[in-house]
Structure 1
């Protein structure tokens, strides 16, 4: 196994052994996109400070502040322990870190509606922002292992005490000095915070059974509840960064320990090469693997649950997701309503007469971020089973039921004076591209990167599948998405910022082979070496993919296939692994004509001329034709760019002396 981490950094480079869809193999040929790079893990290895638990007096002081809901003073006290972390770098003194129970409470405050979308005052918003800032600073300075985020951010629905309350304790050591952080042991029950925000009613770690149910609901909010997505986006961005850094650090430790073990064995047994394989013991204790294990604990289909959460949309056609991924918090989508401007003047000027027990508005309900409405959710949402019209007429309940439905417009109508309002009932079309949907694509791909690494480095027992099965299921679900959403996943901007290139190459290969007809040549027969690496070569692209249409006559499928071919072509061009030849242009033009001919067989243009055909097409078909035209123009531009680059190298006369980076250009 190679030493470099496939998840370290976001530079988009890789080594052959870190290619998640292939086993260990030699370097690929020069005309493939499976680009190699020298090991640079030592330069990118994260450096975190050592940590120790905060002193008992300070811990008790913070605990009292948190229990009394004096959050800002508690966060300020904890933040002061991190402010001088830079001075400790020279002395190598550990940084003081609070226990997991306090970190878990801060994690809840960053996302709870009472401190975000339903905050009654600015102070609540400040609490959420300060909590998030402290957790992110702790992650960047101390790291996820030394901070023991694995214990703090564990989901334990319905457990107040017992083994879940004593989940774990930590040895505050630097990486490599202990078991990697988060060793299972006895957790001091005195650290438990006696607060409603730590119990089953409001803690995010207790209200959900696992991370994936939270993820599915958060992604649904990206399209239907933008006022909640603003906060879920920040929470997910931090959680995914925590998962990534925890994974990277453990992977680096495992490989460093393995190299040291091999070196010791070689020194003790000179002349004998070890055939041992790294088992990644620390990686199996990562926070991400713990979230996957939560699915196995509940006897769920691990891979299907993970992919289902990654592709969670508020799609009206998929009503199952609408009921499967429910609100994390009670009445989460309810918006806070400022009733100060709606109070009548007579109420404001209410008389105060203590002798007659008239107190004006001094005893009116104040705006508590969490009301008793959360405790009787079942009573508010209970509905009587519907009867048929004939049965309703016989029982006389139909008229009363209709009257009840008209008078009870919201869950709060029977409680007048509550300072809450319900968000709009009409949801936008989830596949009308919005800012929330576009932002969620980046987070989905970052999580898929971790899933891909889990399938590659760890045994199939973790996800319950092989790496090829993961890519098959992911690309199958990706292929079924509507065209606008499908195009977002293939955006060239993700190549260097979210996913390394070797993962995109794998996606391109699986997507392209799912669209091509059976008459297309098999890549294994055309270029066996590149096929063994699941890579893309110029020969493979020209003979197996470019000249063919999609296997179906649908406009949308051919448009998607055109986008995949466009992405594959420019990916090859960026790597400098393509040379111009006459066959390249002819195959591109042949494929464009075949896809145009294919969609005409779908029956969209039967008589009436072009004007009638445009009137008969649906909006999706029009969008598909426009996308197909753009992909055709991009493929022609790709051929022109290859021709110009090849001519420039021939005129230069010394192509071997040129730096390969001069051939890399940005995609259009």
Structure 2
């Protein structure tokens, strides 16, 4: 199936609100054959303050505070500069922003376990919260380009802590050129912070090779490590917002520059000029995609794999592929409740620089590799077992600056979580996954395929992976609740439904391009297409879970049509719904106990759940027919009353 209208055939102009909206194309309204036309909203463009560097004295003061681990005073000083900008109410006057090295350190502190899940004291938690709040304020006031987040949030695994390396994965700016958001080659080595939190051992930007490995591990935590997911969720929400605003701002600038060139008559060729989006090619998202190409990884597969990373029996490969970002990350800190006796205290001799145990672990919330983990508790493991493992491996387990945590501290649960159990963390992660998919879809649409891939390839692979998910996870992705202005646009949701529906439909079913070529050309769905191509048919296989998933897709397609006002009642609609329900029931009966979950208890559980979902979805489809019929009767009555001049109904 060819991906089309809102995905590939538009002229490339777009508003930041939707990523794929054709601002220069006719604004077609939703009708009975097309519900994929996105809304237009040109009033959501955000303006940011201009910026300039912090004065040298203040910059040095902040750097000293950060190097001496006096983080709260440093954040307070930086925050006062932003607060002053808001109080002045002078958008034309530049705002003072710190160098990327300082922004990078604060972003690391906001997620490091020593300041979040393993914080030894409340002050550390305050530092993480204040860092995150300052970065969000900086993002909202000056924007990601002016703050140079592209440089601050670049991954540099394996590089020396005192050096910011050049990147050569793509044709980034030449020295002296500007990309609209700072160049990675413009760093002043004097801005580097001499701190272990900026080094290879404890910095997220150096312990990880790329953004997607971090993303995969964070999504794994949503199902297996809820105490870490609480903090990863906040960090991801900020990073995704950075990616979105960076993309929106660059897209708006590219289109404004292109329109200015057209109005100035810069293009004199006979062919239709095309915007090449040079600033989008320098976006933070493209930089993260380039990291995969730099490491010679399969870009599209790595991106989709990270978006759909789980930790369950259905996807055990991810359990070893996405490992802890920080050393002993999932280990919890416990307070030392036993007070030392006076006789056991070390000697204190200030003249000879002997401070007893007053400075023990004062500036190092993270235990060293030699620690016997006496002050840490591992979730899911008893203290006796933890102590035994520590004694057995303390002499051999030694990590290198760039190595992943040793198995001694890989605290995955002793038993894999039930793949049919939906956790709160998993449910919370679905909107974040879809927001990122929206960005990836925009990248495939606007930029050339050599950056990422063709749009059709992205949808093919993403829907293929969606189909393989356990039924409860699949049902979460299909929820109409994700369709919103701030979530997944309706036309992208419709395209996902189309790809999924056609992947389930048997070959004997009529093809959408033959039934409704106009809507098919726009990759949309229509009442005619739904009735003749999808509703009356079962899934290709006899597996209960596949038929349940197909029924969920059809259910959401139907209600999506109804919400758009693009469906009317007719006798053939009820027949198509009843015929499909009957065919799917026959199909699963023919399959016997093939539930899609293998043999044994897991297979029986999958079959039971599949039959429950199939029955519930069938009831929803029948309710859809009833609601459409009732709505059509109301419309008829209102039309008759309008004709009789008894009631006048105006357009909304």
Q: For structure 1, which runs of at least 5 residues remain unmatched after alignment?
A: 19-23, 169-176, 378-404, 606-614, 662-668
Deviation at 1:308, TM superposition (A): 0.8
Cα 1:431–1:189 shift into 2, 3 Å: farther
After superposition, the C-alpha distances for 1:335-361 in whole angstroms (9 at most, x for unaligned) are: 101122x45xxx43536796999x998
Q: Which residue of 2 aligns with 1:282?
A: 279
Task: Measure how far apart 1:178 and its partner are.
Answer: 5.8
Return closer, same or farther for 1:421/1:158 CA change in 2, 3 Å cut-off: closer
Question: Does 1:458 pair with 2:451?
Answer: no
**2:239 aligned residue:** 239
Match of 2:341 in 1: 348
1:28–1:530 CA contact under 8 A, matched in 2: no
Q: Find the aligned partners of 2:30 and 2:243 in 1 and give their Cα distance.
A: 34
Alignment partner of 1:306: what SS? helix
Size of the aligned set, in residue pairs, is 596
Residues 6 and 453 in structure 1, CA contact (< 8 A), matched pair in contact too: no
Look up the SS of the partner of 2:32 in the other structure. coil
1:580 aligns with 2:549: no
Is the partner of 1:92 in helix, strand or coil? Answer: coil
Gap change, CA 1:658 and 1:554, over 3 Å in 2: farther
CA distance in 2, matches of 1:189, 1:201: 20
CA distance in 2, matches of 1:480, 1:352: 59
| C-alpha spacing 1:17/1:51, structure 2 compared with 1 (3 Å) | closer
Structure-to-structure mapping, 1:138-537, within 5 angstroms: 138-160=138-160, 164-165=164-165, 179-265=179-265, 275-340=272-337, 342-343=338-339, 347-350=340-343, 362=357, 365-366=360-361, 368-373=364-369, 409-411=388-390, 425-426=413-414, 427-463=416-452, 465-496=453-484, 497-537=486-526
Question: SS at 1:197's partner residue?
Answer: helix
Q: 1:639, CA displacement in angstroms? A: 1.0
TM-score by length of 2: 0.84
1:222–1:353 distance in 2 versus 1, CA, 3 Å: closer
For the residue of structure 1 that corresponds to 2:212, the secondary structure is helix
Query: Following TM superposition, by how much is the alpha carbon of 1:428 offset from its aligned partner in structure 2, in angstroms?
Result: 2.9
> In the TM superposition, what whole-angstrom CA distance separates every residue of 1:92-117 from its partner, at most 9, and x where no partner exists?
10110000000000010000010011
**Which string of whole-angstrom CA distances, capped at 9 and with x for unpartnered residues, describes residues 427-472 of structure 1?**
5335410000001111111110011000000000011x21111100
**2:589 paired residue number:** 600
Q: Deviations over 1:158-187 (max 9, x none)?
A: 11279734679xxxxxxxx96321235431
Q: Out of 633, 636, 642, which is 2:619 matched to?
A: 633
Gap change, CA 1:317 and 1:354, over 3 Å in 2: closer
SS at match of 2:253: helix
Distance 1:90 1:412, change over 3 A: farther
Return closer, same or farther for 1:44/1:17 CA change in 2, 3 Å cut-off. closer
Mind listing any 5+ residue stretches in structure 2 that lack a counterpart?
A: 1-9, 169-176, 374-383, 396-407, 595-600
**Conservation of the 8 A alpha-carbon contact between 1:7 and 1:453:** no
Output one character per residue of 1:519-545: Cα deviation in whole Å (capped at 9) or x when no partner.
100111101111111100110000000
CA distance in 1: counterparts of 2:348 and 2:62, whole angstroms = 45
| 1:658/1:131 CA distance change after superposition, 3 Å | farther
What's the offset of the Cα at 1:364? 9.0
Is the 1:219–1:313 contact (alpha carbons within 8 Å) kept by the matching residues of 2? yes
Q: 2:637 aligns with which of 651, 654, 661?
A: 651
Q: Deviations over 1:235-260 (max 9, x none)?
A: 01100000000000100111111111
- For the Cα contact (< 8 Å) 1:554–1:602, is it kept in 2? yes
Distance 1:319 1:424 in 2: 12
Corresponding residue for residue 31 of structure 1: 32
Task: State whether residues 580 and 642 of structure 1, in contact with CA within 8 Å, keep that contact through their aligned partners in structure 2.
Answer: yes
C-alpha root-mean-square deviation of aligned residues, in Å? Answer: 3.3
TM-superposed CA distance for 1:33, in Å, is: 4.0
CA distance in 1, matches of 2:254, 2:359: 61
Question: Does the CA contact (< 8 Å) of 2:545 and 2:606 recur in 1?
Answer: yes
Query: Aligned to 2:544, which of 530, 555, 560?
Result: 555
**In structure 1, how many angstroms separate the alpha carbons of the residues matched to 2:219 and 2:345?**
51
Contact 2:548 2:614 in 1 (8 A): yes
Q: Which residue of 2 aligns with 1:570?
A: 559
Contact 1:553–1:598 (CA under 8 A) maintained in structure 2? yes
2: CA distance, partners of 1:599 / 1:362: 69
Q: Which residue of 2 aligns with 1:8?
A: 17
Per the TM alignment, residue 316 of structure 1 is displaced from its structure 2 partner at its CA by 3.4
137-146 vs 595-604, which moves further? 595-604
1:31: how far off?
Answer: 1.4
Query: How far apart are residue 370 of structure 1 and its match?
Result: 1.8
Instruction: Rate the CA distance shift 1:649–1:436 in 2: closer, same or farther, 3 A.
Output: same
1:660–1:118 CA distance, 2 compared to 1 (3 A): farther
1:393 is matched with which residue? none
TM-score normalised over the length of structure 1: 0.83
Please report how far the alpha carbon of residue 326 of structure 1 lies from its aligned counterpart in structure 2 after TM superposition: 1.0
Q: Is the 8 A contact 2:35 2:561 kept in 1?
A: no
Residues 616/243 of structure 1: CA separation in 2 closer, same or farther (3 Å cut): closer
State whether residues 314 and 469 of structure 2, in contact with CA within 8 Å, keep that contact through their aligned partners in structure 1.
Answer: no
